[in-house]
Every structure is written in structure tokens, then in C-alpha cells.
Amino acid sequence: MTRTKRARRYRYLSPAAAMLVVLSAPVTARAVVSPGTGPASQSSTGESASAEPPTVQALRDTGPDQRRWMSLPGSRVVVNPYNFNLLGANRTPGMEKPTAYSNGPQLPMNVGYYVGDRAEEIPQAASLYMRDGERTPRLRSALDDDFSTLSGEWDVSPQLSTELIDGQAKLTVHDTIAASISRSLEINVDQTPFLQITVPRTEGKWSLQVRDGAQSPLIFLQRDTDQTGAFTFDLPRATGWHGTKSFWLSFVAIYQERPTYLDHLRIVGVDSPMQTAASFETEWLPGELPFHATYPNGVALSGSDAFHDRDTVVRSIDLQPSSGEGNPVPVVTVAGKFAGKPSWDRKSRTLTVTSAGYSYAVSFSLPLSGEPRLYRSAVDFLLQNPSQEVDGEGFWSVDIPLPVARRSGPAELGMSIAFAPGDNAGALARERASRPVLDGTWRGAVSEQTRFWDRLLAGVPQPHDFAVHGVPASGVTPDEVRREYYTAWVHIASNVLPPMPETGFHYPQIANGKASLWNFGAPGAKPSAQWESVLEMQFFAYVDPDLAWQAYKGLLSLVSHDGEMGGESLPSRKAQTADVLYRLTGDQASLRSVYPALKRHLLWERDNPRWICCGEDPAVDFPNERDSDFVVSLLVDMRYAREIAGILKIPGEVEFWNQQRTQLFENYLRWLWPSTSDPVQYHFVGEERCNYRGDCRGNDLDVAIGLNVELLDSEHAAGLTNRFDASYDPTDDFAGFTETRYPEFSLASYGLLAHGMPERTAVLANAYLRDIVRAHMFAESYVPHEGTIRPTGVRPSSFAAMTVIDAVWMKNGYRADLGWPHFVALPGETGGLDGIRILGRRLNENIAPAAAELRLSGSLISPVESCQRLRLPVGETIALPQPCIAGRQQLPG
């Protein structure tokens, strides 16, 4: 297979920091909203929504389950990323909560950065300590093995030979791919949290693992790597463990007959003069991360992290020194982990770190006590054992004595961290970081971000009813659903990435999950997923249709001449997205421009209806696999492709897609229907079994999505309904289904409507909405666990955010899947949706099931009474009639 990349320059219409285009008038008169500019969203006729949107203060999140990530639309930077790549490998229960992953008594600012097709993570880019001048540092050791001899406590795999050479253990694997040297330990990981290891040389690769008991999963401290040098791992952070733990430690040498050398391994702790907070609290808001802390020396502080612009994050701190005569002047130590080459600019009080492909800089508002010190590890920092020069990875620290004049009152400290892409970007990063602390604008960052997010929330569609109906509420309140709905919009908007010219890709992206650091898409646009991102474009078009079109064109520009798109291959919703974007905007020129690439890609999907993952040499790639998720999604997408061909009036193309669908439908019945009463999810052509899938039946909901295919006869529809009913339980979590992702939820929900089962759709909408709110994290999927809902897969992920929005819309009478306004009254639901933007005009809808009536208003709707009240029986779907458009504007398509 070929995986080629094509990109042409496209003008990015949102060049300002995190710019969004919120339509507030006809398309010819756009209102551009970005941080610090523009009025709140309002239509050209002065309409206001009856369902008032919240301010960011209403979304404030506190407690142990709070969110911690923060970003801006159009920013490469994410504060407190939740790296699912690490968590997915470890499945560590203690680290499932974002607070466990991101928080600590050192009040860390953790940063992720997207650059050059990479998603970088810099944990503890900046942290806060108080220096205790009376304390002498002391090292505590729980294990110290220099491998001058090989202790009998090490268990050596039979396939591993060990040889001691000059105080190093040479480990060589024989007759297999990997083998380990292991030992059991019992250690208080709070008192001795740091595991340090030196690997001076390897001709293969190595990994480092721990396991808490024989039945527990492996936890990778270091996944397979060929890196050498000294490494430090924080056991509590990596594992979620605390207190005294018994566990197995394994060092794994990888690759036959390629030796790896192990020099030194120790587990230590430090009694350090660097004091962390005795107690602390954090909070989350869309544009601000407040924190509060007290220290053993009596100092109390409050502060927050906020974006200053899309490249710069500022931390503002107010410190209250302890009272009492004779107390020493408190010294704040700011320290951070770095990877790269650090340098110091005394004039601007800025530390710059130059890394591969980017630089970042940290700047301070107050004078320092001397210059920064560099350390080779966190342990050296805590011991206050600096080195003259450290390249690669290490720690830096600066001391900031509080002004004596402020000892009787709060002292104010500002610092900023800024990023710039490029191999020689140090000067730009330094200028970006120093500017807000030198000109004082860091003080206004929180209020600026508050205004920005308030404007964005005012511009999204505003539902009337947030109550859970028809299923047990499980304690979920309308206020909680309301917060989750508007936070879902914050999540999707925050996923927007700017053009990244260093990869040759000149379009914005809507990432799968910016905060998750997911990065498995096509080369040039790896943060964009073929499934999640295109569906996000559909929703984001209600806020910024221009950016949604640009992101879509960018993704389609990556389709090769043979129709393939690189990266993880996922079920197609691309034709649906093009159709939805067109019907929301009427932009036929854009629709026509993407059609050739769209057609090529759908035909490639026809020949490859399966999961391929991931990269240039995918581990999962079985050409004979057939997956109902892929086949059904493509049958639905080809229906939209046929609609697009009709809109564009391309000769012969409507019939072409009819023929393609007919042929694919026949294959669908042949591949995945062993009998008409029992369809399956998987089939491997030429094989009796389902290869790596094991069970051919798959998940009930992944099969039942076939109800969205209108070509089914009644017998086959009954077979799909049987698969649905096999799991369906209105009283259970997620209505009994183990498949909890958004694409299956949406296809199944609308398929049930098409087959006259609106009651089941209503249960799905309410159950999925309720349980995502209970989980309190937007994730790819979920697993019920001991009375709770545990997020799994990619997280944070746009899937759950879109489920929340779509479910709330459905419950309030509006369908998200068809682009042009369609309305539905689900059983047991009332409400409405205000502020829907269609063709740059406003639409408000309100369902009245008792009267079987739909009430419409807004600048899109003709003032004629017969257009403002339409008949809408419960369970039926109706479209907005063309004669009801104000001014007789033509309906798209």
C-alpha cells in the first residue's frame, strides 16, 4: 500500500490567538470572535435565546474528580495533558483520575505541545517549592545495586545470559525475542519514591516494568526503547501506589543476541530543603486553573494558570508570608523538568530550552537570587546537587526571595511559559515568554480568558431541557447535564489546532483529543482521526463553519491517488460530513472541490472495510477482514455520496453510487449474515474462524447499527433488532450495551427511529447521557465498574463530548445527523433548542408533544403562522419545509 501526503496552501481564516468565527448574521456579515475581541453572539435582528447559556463560572469543577486539561482553539499547547498512551498501557487504577495524573503538592504545571507531527509531553514544566534554609538534604536508600556482583535475589530468565564486566551487567537474550532479570521488593514508595537506573549501552532495546502481585497487570515504567544513559522514574506517579508495597521489578532485554548493559539501579528518597505544600486544592474552569496551598513554613498562596495567548501560558501567584517577628524572608523556588539544551538571558529573566523542532522559555516577573541551577535528575534537585552543564534531560531551578517590603502583606509573582516551533526558535520563544511579565499583561490573562469563553458559550445552540427521562437518573441532575453539555463544547473548541507548516500541512485541524496527546492519524496531520475528527467538524460547523470546512478540506487533501489516507483506518463518515457542512453553509464550491478525493477514498474504503492500525508498518492489517462497523458506515456514507452527486449534478454519478451501494449491500449480506436471524460483526474471507478477533459475533450494538441501512427487508431488520434486544436493558448502565462509542450510538439511535422504535432511541439517549455525566470524563468508551463508570480507550476524547451534544439535541427535538434542520419528538421528552445557525441565520425550535406540534422562530423562519407551527407527532421526523425559509432563500440541494 502507498501512503502519500498531499498538501496545498490554504488561507487560515483564524490567525489571531484561538480565533473562532461565530456566525451572527447572514454569511456576508460575519462576526469574528477571538480572545479579547468582539461582542457576545447575537443575531442581526437582535434575537436572544430563551434558554440562557451559562458563564464559565457555572462550569467550575472542584474535588477529586475534576478535569485538569486546558487549551485554546488554535493553540498547539495543552496544559495538564492526560497522556492516554501511558495510561492505556498501564491501566493503573490509581492514575485513572486526572487529579492523580496531573496534581501534586509541588503544584506542577504540566504541558503538552504539538509540533512536527509529534505530541510532546513535558511533565512538571514548572513547579513550586519553599526553601527551608534550616534543613540539610539527606538521601534515603531502599535499594542500591551497582552490579559489581549479581545478587542471588535477582531471578534471571533461562533465555538470558548475564556477564559482569567492569561493574556492569551484560545481558544477552538467546532463543527468543526478549528475556528479563527480576526481583521482588517491599518498599515504602512514599518515603523512597525514585527509581534510578543507568543503561550505558544497548545494541537492542530494553524496558522496565513493575507488577503488584501475580494477578495484577504489568506497569511499564519505560516501554521498549534504545535510549541509553541515566533514568529516573517516580514510582507513585507511574503506578498510583502509596505506602508500603510488595511488588516485582523486571528489567527486560529485547532482541536476540543484541546485548544490553545495566550499570546501576537504586530506589531512593530525599529529606530535602525543597518543601512542597502541606495542603493544596485545585479547581478547573475553561480558561483558568486556580490553586490554593499552604506550606510548612506558614506561607499561604493562591494563584492560577491561564493562557495569555495561544503560544503562552501564565501563572499568577499571590503569597501571604507567615506572621511573626524574626521569621526569615520566604524564598520561593521554581523548578522544572526539561528535555533539550537550556540557556539563560539575565536581562529578560528568561530560561530558554531548545529541543528538537521547537523551543520553550520560562520568564519571571520578580528578580531572582542568582542564576538558574541545573541538575541531572529530580533526586539531584532535591539534594541540591547542581551540575555545571546538563544537556538532554534534567531539572532547572531558580530562587525568588519575596520582597521585604511585602512581608506584612501578599506578594505578587508572575511567570510565563511560551513555545515556538522550529529548530532555531529560541529567540522567538524567549520574546513570547518575557513579553507578558515585562509589560504586566500577565495580570489580565484570567479576565481575558473568561470573556473569551463566555462569548463562545453564548454562541453555541442552547437547549431548554437537561433532565434525564425514561431511565433511572442514578443521581444525575439537570444542572450536571447542563454543565456537561456546555463543557462538551469547550472540549471540541479546545481541540482545534492551527496550521502546522513544518509538516507541509497548511490547514487547521480538529484533533481527536488534544489533551490525550492522541497522534495516530495520517502523516502531516497525525492529531486528526478519520472517525472522531470528521464528526467533530459536523458539530463545530454550528460555531465556526469556515474553520470546519478548512479542516475538512485539509483532511481530504491527504487522500492519495489510490484513495488511501495514512494513519489509523477507521469507519467512514466523510461523505456525511461533507453533506452536513454543505447544508449548513450552502457552500457548493467547497463541496465540489472535495468530491474527487472523497470519491477516491470511499472506493478505497469499499475495498478495505476493516481496521488498520497504525503507522507505516501497521500491527493490525488483515486484508481479508470484514467488519460490520466499517461496512455499514460505508453503506450509509455512500448514501450521502449519492446525495452530493445529485447536488453537484455530475452526469452518471448518482447511478454510479446506486450501483456501488447495491454491490456493497449484497456483499454485506454475504459476509456478515450467516442467517437472516443472526447477523455477526466480523468475517474473514476464506477462514472459518475470525482470526485475531476470536468471536465472530462481536458486539450487539456494532451489528445493530445496520438498522440505519434503508435497503434492508423486514426479515433482516428483525434480525438486527434481535441483536439489539439481546443486550438492551433500560435499567442497566448504557442501557445494557458494552459498545459505548459515539458513532455506534448515533447510527443505532437514528436507525431505530427509521424502523419505528423511538422508545428505544429515547432510552439510549438518556442512558448514554446519564452515564457519561456519571463518568465525568469525555472518553472513547466506558466500562461499568463497582457501581461507577470507568473511562477507557482514548481519553479525553471527542466521542463522548459528541454523544452528550447529540443526545441533548435529540431529547430537545433536533437531529444532528442530516445537516438541514430535521426535528423529532421522542417519547417522554419536551424542550427545544435555540440559537441553531443555518446559512448564517438563526433558528429556534420548541417541541410540544402533547399538542403534536413543533414551534419555530428566528431569522431563518418565515413569519407566516403556518411555518411557525408545524405538526410533529411523537416518534416522527420532519424536515424544515423550503417555503418556510424567510426571504425564500433556496434550500441547499
At 556-597, the pLDDT tens digits run 999 999 999 999 999 999 999 999 999 999 999 999 999 999
- The Cβ of residue 311 has, within 10 Å, a number of other Cβ atoms equal to 24
Please say if the pLDDT value at position 407 is more than 60: no
Give residue-wise pLDDT tens across range 781-794: 999 988 899 999 99
Which of 840, 849, 842, 855 is closest to 876 using CA atoms?
849
pLDDT of residue 608: 96
Print the SS3 string covering 749-760.
Answer: HHHHHHCCCHHH
Please say if the pLDDT value at position 415 is more than 70: yes
DSSP-derived secondary structure letter, 422:
S
Q: Which pLDDT band, with edges at 50, 70 and 90, does 278 fall under?
A: very high
Q: Extract the C-alpha cell encoding 455.
A: 462569548
Contact 826, 810 (CB under 8 A): yes
pLDDT of residue 152: 86
Q: Which pLDDT band, with edges at 50, 70 and 90, does 94 fall under?
A: low
pLDDT of residue 55: 94
676-702 average pLDDT score: 91
Q: Is the dihedral of CA 558, 555, 27, 822 positive or negative?
A: positive
Give residue-wise pLDDT tens across range 472-501: 999 999 999 999 999 999 999 999 999 999
Give CA–CA dist 665/672, Å, rounded: 10
The per-residue pLDDT of the chain, averaged, comes to 90
Share of the chain above pLDDT 70, in %: 91
Please say if the pLDDT value at position 404 is more than 60: no
Give CA–CA dist 699/629, Å, rounded: 10
Give residue-wise pLDDT tens across range 510-526: 999 999 999 999 999 99
193-216 average pLDDT score: 91
Which of 415, 419, 400, 265 is closest to 340 using CA atoms?
419
98-103 average pLDDT score: 92
Please say if the pLDDT value at position 121 is more than 80: yes
Q: Which pLDDT band, with edges at 50, 70 and 90, does 694 fall under?
A: confident
Give residue-wise pLDDT tens across range 437-460: 999 999 999 999 999 999 999 999
Q: Is the dihedral of CA 646, 650, 651, 656 positive or negative?
A: negative
Please say if the pLDDT value at position 640 is more than 90: yes
**Taking the C-alpha atoms of 184, 190, 195 and 196 in order, what is their torsion angle to the nearest 10 degrees?**
-140
Please say if the pLDDT value at position 7 is more than 80: no
* Beta-carbon-side half-sphere exposure of residue 819 (alpha carbons within 13 Å): 24
pLDDT of residue 92: 54
Written as one letter, the residue type at 683 is: H
pLDDT of residue 42: 32
Phi–psi pair at 576, nearest 5 degrees:
-60, -45
Please say if the pLDDT value at position 623 is more than 90: yes
Give CA–CA dist 597/554, Å, rounded: 11
pTM flag (> 0.85)? yes
* Sheet strand arrangement including 260-262: 160-165, 168-173, 260-262, 201-202
265-274 average pLDDT score: 96
Number of DSSP helices (H) and strands (E) in the chain, helices first:
19, 43
Choose the most confident range, by mean pLDDT, from 140-149, 326-335, 770-779.
770-779
Give CA–CA dist 59/490, Å, rounded: 10
Give CA–CA dist 577/412, Å, rounded: 49
DSSP-derived secondary structure letter, 687:
-
Give CA–CA dist 767/175, Å, rounded: 52
pLDDT of residue 134: 84
DSSP-derived secondary structure letter, 620:
B
Q: Is the dihedral of CA 668, 671, 674, 679 positive or negative?
A: negative
* Beta-carbon-side half-sphere exposure of residue 682 (alpha carbons within 13 Å): 20
pLDDT of residue 32: 29
pLDDT of residue 96: 77
pLDDT of residue 868: 96
pLDDT of residue 22: 28
For 51, residues 6+ apart whose C-beta sits below 8 A from its C-beta are: 462, 463, 464, 832, 833, 834
pLDDT of residue 25: 28
707-735 average pLDDT score: 97
Q: Which pLDDT band, with edges at 50, 70 and 90, does 93 fall under?
A: low
Q: Is the peptide bond before 796 cis (omega within 30 degrees of 0)?
A: yes
- The Cβ of residue 115 has, within 10 Å, a number of other Cβ atoms equal to 21
651-674 average pLDDT score: 97
pLDDT of residue 39: 28
Phi–psi pair at 591, nearest 5 degrees:
-60, -45
Contact 496, 17 (CB under 8 A): no
